[in-house]
Amino acid sequence: MSFSGHTQKSSKRPFPVEHIMPPQVLRNNYLHVLEEKQKLQLKKFLLDRMFLVAKTKENIEKKDVTDYYEHLFQTISKQYVSEAVTGLLLIYRTFILHILESSSSTLYSILLDYINHKKKRGEYFIKGMKIVVVSHNIPTRIFMQWHVIVIKVPVMYLDDVTQSQSLREIVTEFLTQTHKLALYFFKTLKVGAKGPSENLYQPAPELLLPEQIIKYLYKSEEFLEPEIFINMYNRPIHITFDTEVVWPAPSRF
């Protein structure tokens, strides 16, 4: 007696597992979205913007400062593949305001260069520096190139407003005026232009920050020196959640 029906039933093979699995959907993480956004904006890296105030030796020469920073920018660009530096350097009598836009690695290298000069205790035109603001992943630049301007302001213009305003009000005015000045540059200067005349007080006096504000921000303890900022930047982050804390502490037998 033959059981042909049973033989045919047992000859059937199960379907492969991959045939019954649902199709996989590709999921992008947030980093991938940011990278694609940078490609569309023709940027190689995420852009950061940094506002620095520094004390300098009195009446420094513009050419010396310009040559130094241009050489520094070129050296960094040869060492790392990064974004070009744009921004504005305003040179007052004994202080400077420096706005820098580039990738984080470039700004990091600029701060390290200052720290190295400070450790050597050699001849250097910057006597001290404070970081006012660092903005990460800015959507676009507010400066098309890097400009250096020596500020020559009449004495009557130097009204000290730091005695009647709080730090919050001064920082707000500082950021507002610098962005207005950047907008003025954007509207009046073409790409490749050398910049406005040496005496910026004549075409746009209402946009200039008094040197007392730069001095006030430099002396404020709320803002970090580059050494402290770099140490915080390099410090690993260890976060302990409440769920990880057990008391009494577990012990092995």
pLDDT tens digits, one per residue of 64-92: 999 999 999 999 988 877 788 999 999 99
pLDDT at 224 over 90: yes
Burial class (CB in 10 A: 0-12, 13-18, 19+), 224: middle
Q: Which two tokens stand for residue 126?
A: 């910057």
pLDDT tens digits, one per residue of 170-221: 999 899 988 888 888 888 766 555 555 455 555 567 778 888 899 999 999 9
pLDDT tens digits, one per residue of 240-251: 666 666 665 555
Q: What is the pTM of this model?
A: 0.72
Tokens 């093979």 correspond to what residue? 13
Q: Are strands 146-150 and 86-91 parallel, antiparallel or unpaired?
A: parallel
Other CB atoms within a 10 A radius of the CB of residue 70 amount to 13
CA distance 136 to 64: 30
CATH topology of domain 42-234: Alpha-Beta Plaits (3.30.70)
Burial class (CB in 10 A: 0-12, 13-18, 19+), 239: exposed
CA distance 107 to 113: 10
**Could you state, in order of their start, the residue ranges of all structural domains in the chain?**
42-234
Q: Which two tokens stand for residue 224?
A: 């970090």
Beta strands in the chain (DSSP E): 47-56, 86-91, 95-103, 126-135, 146-150
148: β partners: 89
CA distance 251 to 253: 7
Residue 65 amino acid letter: V
Q: Which two tokens stand for residue 82?
A: 């990064």
pLDDT tens digits, one per residue of 130-148: 999 999 988 888 888 898 9
Least confident of 75-79, 118-122, 226-230, 248-252: 248-252
Of all residues in the chain, the percent with pLDDT exceeding 70 is: 65
Band (pLDDT 50/70/90 cuts) for residue 45 is confident
Band (pLDDT 50/70/90 cuts) for residue 11 is low
User: According to the model, what pLDDT value does residue 131 have?
Assistant: 96
CA distance 127 to 110: 15
